[in-house]
Amino acid sequence: MFEIIQKNILIPGDDIYDYDSYTTRGEQRSRGFEMDLTGYIAPNFQVTASYGFTDAIIVEDAIEEFVGERIGEAPKHNANFWGRYDFNNRILRGTGVGFGVQHVDERYTWYSSANNPARVLLPDYTVFDAAVYYKPNRL
């Protein structure tokens, strides 16, 4: 479990390259938990799974409408899985395959500025990965 409180965070204005347009956010808080499980289902089959929950909100801001809103780029849920199988027969010894999946929940973009407070709800997404391993005998 975690709780992170940040105060006086520098937020870009309408033009991220114009440092005079930057403002500060009074306070934002992130609470949640993360958990990971890893282990072997068989001597040559390893799995790793993780899950995270984050409740991240703006606690204090000069712009009252922002207070209580979710922090930008902070998904509430994210989950990962990775499995790796290493072949141990004589022909394929030293090779293996892996498969993974990562899911990230929807999240908002950051507020642009006080002059342009619009932000966009970004959709959730899932990424699938695969791998092939090879370990030469003498390396």
What is the value of pTM for the model shown? Answer: 0.78
Residue 69's identity, in one-letter code, is: E
Closest C-alpha among 89, 95, 90 to residue 136: 95
In a domain? residue 139: no
pLDDT in tens, the chain (139 residues): 999 999 998 877 767 788 787 778 889 999 999 999 999 999 999 999 999 999 999 999 887 888 998 998 899 999 999 999 999 888 888 899 999 999 999 998 876 555 666 778 899 999 999 999 998 876 6
Residue 74 lies in a domain: yes
- Residue 46 within a domain: yes
Q: What is the DSSP string of the chain?
A: -EEEEEEEEEE--SSTT-GGG-EEEEEEEEEEEEEEEEEEEETTEEEEEEEEEEEEEEEE-SSGGGTTSBPTT--SEEEEEEEEEE--STTTTTEEEEEEEEEE--EEPPP--SS-----EEPPEEEEEEEEEE--TT-
In the structure encoding, which two tokens stand for residue 105, read together?
A: 């929940």
Residue 66 lies in a domain: yes
Q: By residue range, what is the domain housing residue 52?
A: 2-134
pLDDT at position 15 is: 72
Region for 118 from its dihedrals, namely left if φ exceeds 0, alpha if ψ lies in -120 to 50, beta otherwise: beta
> How many domains are contained in the chain?
1
